[in-house]
Amino acid sequence: MGRWLLVKVLVLIGLFVVSGGRVIKMKHEVEGPVYNQTIVKILVEYASAVYMTDLTELFTWTCSRCNGLTKGFEMIELIVDVQNCLQAFVGVSPDLNSIIIAFRGTQEHSICNWIEDLFWKQLDLNYPGMPDAMVHHGFYSAYHNTTLRHGILNAVQRAREAYGNIHIFVTGHSMGGALASFCALDLTIKHGIEDIQLVTFGQPRIGNAAFSNYFIRHVPHTVRVTHANDIVPHLPPYYSHFQRKTYHHFAREVWLQDIEVESLVYSVEKICDGSGEDPSCSRSVSGNSIADHLKYYDIDLQADSLGSCKIVMNTSTTRYHVDDSGNIMLSKDHLSPSFVELNSLVL
């Protein structure tokens, strides 16, 4: 913990010195969406449920987080990339009459280690087809180069065949927010699906200013929720003077603040400007809290049990498919629950 604190302090001092509080100006052709708290409060419950480790309960939507505002959710596909410790699902929300795609954040023993790593993430990949747009290779490939993408595209196609061209919401918390962002962009650009709505919670930065500019043009209905002093939205660091080389958030941030007045805590929401790096939103605070990262709108956003990449499944009642790499897919057709073929497997 000592080393971690020192690193953080040094980087924050560095940040302060280099950035000098300036903001990179970006041009915007599309106005940001109106933030709808009713919808976002439903989505945060999906972002929380996707952390659950019991796959049987999650797949049958009977888990402890599978009620409340998400009641009645129709699961279509649950994908677990065991090798890379990733989890996501696709299904249909009857209340929103929409497809929901949710990505889990990191499920490590120590969230501190994961956050510490974020300080050093390089912009090391040119986003294909976007001149000057750079992103972090690790986040990019966690979506593009794992089982997730294929499973999700497949499920979205099946959902649209069954339900018609209903709306799509993509959501995720922390690293899950980073993956959700790449997914929303992919669905828009490569698959021509319009009007995707992206809502992320406490996500890190994923690309540079050029990337953010493209992003918001392609996925204009984006809400990036940040909470109080949550440290993760401050990472990887933002340096206003290396425009091409620095990370830069995309708009539209909505910053949740907890304001204490005479021992009462009020929750205040600030809809931020269209720059992505509004200096009066989360950037106005030092951002050093892990606790603020793990709770949004009073909903827990972390795994329900400790341990790296733990998977719990009742293999006697749950039918599933395991691919050559040991990744698990649970699929359902909404009309007549029929599962993809069952391989012989050892868990």
Ligand X SMILES: *[C@@H]1O[C@H](CO)[C@@H](O)[C@H](O)[C@H]1NC(C)=O
Asked if 344 touches ligand X (CB under 6 A), the answer is no
Distance CA 198, CA 211 (A): 16
Buried/exposed code over 187-204 (b: 16+ C-beta within 10 A; e: otherwise): bbbeeebeebbbbbbbbb
Pick between residue 126 and residue 141 the one whose CB is nearest to ligand X. Answer: 141
By CB under 6 A, which span of 58-66, 250-258, 260-268, 314-322 interacts with ligand X? 314-322
By CB under 6 A, which span of 32-40, 102-110, 197-205, 249-257 interacts with ligand X? 32-40
Pick between residue 67 and residue 126 the one whose CB is nearest to ligand X. Answer: 126
Using CB under 6 A, count the residues that bind ligand X: 8
By CB under 6 A, which span of 9-17, 102-110, 291-299, 312-320 interacts with ligand X? 312-320
Query: What is the SS3 assignment for 189-202?
Result: HCCCCCCCEEEEEC
By CB under 6 A, which span of 9-17, 204-212, 275-283, 309-317 interacts with ligand X? 309-317
What DSSP string runs through 64-93? TTSSGGGTT-EEEEEEEETTTTEEEEEEEE
Distance CA 188, CA 198 (A): 11
Of the candidate residues 317, 336, 338, 344, the single one contacting ligand X (CB under 6 A): 317
Pick between residue 112 and residue 312 the one whose CB is nearest to ligand X. Answer: 312
Pick between residue 24 and residue 42 the one whose CB is nearest to ligand X. Answer: 42
Pick between residue 23 and residue 39 the one whose CB is nearest to ligand X. Answer: 39
Instruction: Quote the least distance from Cβ 231 to ligand X, whole Å.
Output: 27
Asked if 327 and 147 count as a contact pair (C-beta separation under 8 A), the reply is: yes
Asked if 141 touches ligand X (CB under 6 A), the answer is yes
Q: Residues 33-52 vs ligand X: string with x where CB under 6 A?
A: ---x-xx-------------
Distance CA 48, CA 154 (A): 23
Q: Residues 99-138 vs ligand X: string with x where CB under 6 A?
A: ----------------------------------------
Pick between residue 66 and residue 294 the one whose CB is nearest to ligand X. Answer: 66
Pick between residue 83 and residue 284 the one whose CB is nearest to ligand X. Answer: 83
Asked if 181 and 203 count as a contact pair (C-beta separation under 8 A), the reply is: yes
Q: What angle do CA 94, 86, 256 make, to 5 degrees?
A: 60
For 121, the token pair is 């993430």
Of the candidate residues 64, 110, 122, 145, the single one contacting ligand X (CB under 6 A): 145
For 260, the token pair is 């204490």
What DSSP string runs through 288-344? -BSGGGSEETTEE-S-SS-STT--B--TTT---EE-TTS-EEEE--SSS--PPPPPP
Distance CA 219, CA 130 (A): 14
Distance CA 111, CA 173 (A): 13
Of the candidate residues 243, 267, 314, 343, the single one contacting ligand X (CB under 6 A): 314
Instruction: Quote the least distance from Cβ 313 to ligand X, whole Å.
Output: 9
Asked if 330 and 147 count as a contact pair (C-beta separation under 8 A), the reply is: no
Asked if 157 touches ligand X (CB under 6 A), the answer is no
Pick between residue 60 and residue 213 the one whose CB is nearest to ligand X. Answer: 60
CA atoms within 13 A on the CB side of 42: 21
Q: Which residues bind ligand X (CB under 6 A)?
A: 36, 38-39, 141, 145, 314, 316-317
